[in-house]
Chains A and B, each alone.
Chain A
Amino acid sequence: AQTVTQSQPEMSVQEAETVTLSCTYDTSESDYYLFWYKQPPSRQMILVIRQEAYKQQNATENRFSVNFQKAAKSFSLKISDSQLGDAAMYFCAYRSAGRGGSEKLVFGKGTKLTVNP
């Protein structure tokens, strides 16, 4: 079974600074997707960024980028120019690419990010 580990329960960053959230995963599969989700205090989970395992290039979405190290099974999220609105729980998630099209997500425990003004 796949597992996702987020070793940082809490992180804090100053506004306008850069922060990196860590995520490691364990799988025997070669084809899969990785995601970072953000869950603000309002509780609506939203997708921040996604990475296909077959792509070597790291995904980027505006101020958010990932460092995907497939051999090391590592998938970290970098947030640049942090804003107060980035404060939230961040979840790393794994999804198999096969399995009959199932979209089951395996989540890490989450990292609570605080942004200080």
Chain B
Amino acid sequence: KAGVTQTPRYLIKTRGQQVTLSCSPISGHRSVSWYQQTPGQGLQFLFEYFSETQRNKGNFPGRFSGRQFSNSRSEMNVSTLELGDSALYLCASSPGTSNSEQFFGPGTRLTVL
């Protein structure tokens, strides 16, 4: 069974631009969560989707948004990029049932210049 895939793996953008990151969960998984990882702040929860509905949201500005499609694939969008948005963005998928394990993707490394 294929694991969680994230595209692109690396991305370079400039301040003010917007970016869309994609996450394809493991087949059959209905829950997708997104995390931002930086050296200073560590791993921070962005948002979580289950069956196309946002189930939880972290403390990030409105520039960060996401969505989930009917095939459970998820995208996150960051508008008006800032230098501080440079980070590794990880997504994790799970079946979404209680006590289920989350599986992480390899991440997308975003660099904002």
Partner of B56, one of A44, A50, A99, A110: A99
Cβ of B98 to closest chain A Cβ, rounded Å: 6
Please report the C-alpha to C-alpha distance between residue A17 and residue B34 in the assembled complex, in whole angstroms: 36
Contacts of B96 in A (CB 8 A): 101, 103
Contact (Cβ within 8 A) A103 B104: no
Are B48 and A103 neighbours in the complex by a CB distance under 8 Å?
A: yes
Expressed in whole angstroms, the Cα–Cα distance for A103 and B100 within the complex equals 9
Task: Give which listed residue, A42, A103, A104, A109, contacts B42 with CB less than 8 A.
Answer: A109
Given A100-B55, A101-B55, A45 contacting B104 (CB threshold 8 A) = yes
Select from chain A the residue with minimum beta-carbon distance to B90: A45
Among A17-67, those with CB < 8 Å from B are 33, 37, 42-47, 50, 52
Number of interface residues of B (CB under 8 A): 27
Q: Interface 1/0s, chain B 10-48, versus A by CB < 8 A?
A: 000000000000000000000101010000001111001
Contacts of A33 in B (CB 8 A): 99
- Residue total for A at the interface (Cβ-Cβ under 8 A): 24
In the complex, how many angstroms separate the beta carbon of B10 from the nearest chain A beta carbon?
Answer: 11
CB distance from A87 to the nearest CB of B (A): 18
Residues of B near any A CB (own CB < 8 A):
31, 33, 35, 42-45, 48, 50, 55-56, 58, 88, 90, 92, 94, 96, 98-107
12 contacts between A and B (CB under 8 A): A44-B105, A44-B107, A50-B101, A52-B99, A97-B98, A99-B56, A100-B55, A101-B96, A105-B92, A107-B35, A107-B42, A110-B43
14 further contact pairs, Cβ within 8 A, besides A104-B48, A107-B42: A33-B99, A43-B106, A47-B101, A99-B56, A100-B55, A100-B56, A101-B50, A102-B56, A103-B33, A103-B94, A103-B100, A105-B35, A105-B102, A110-B43
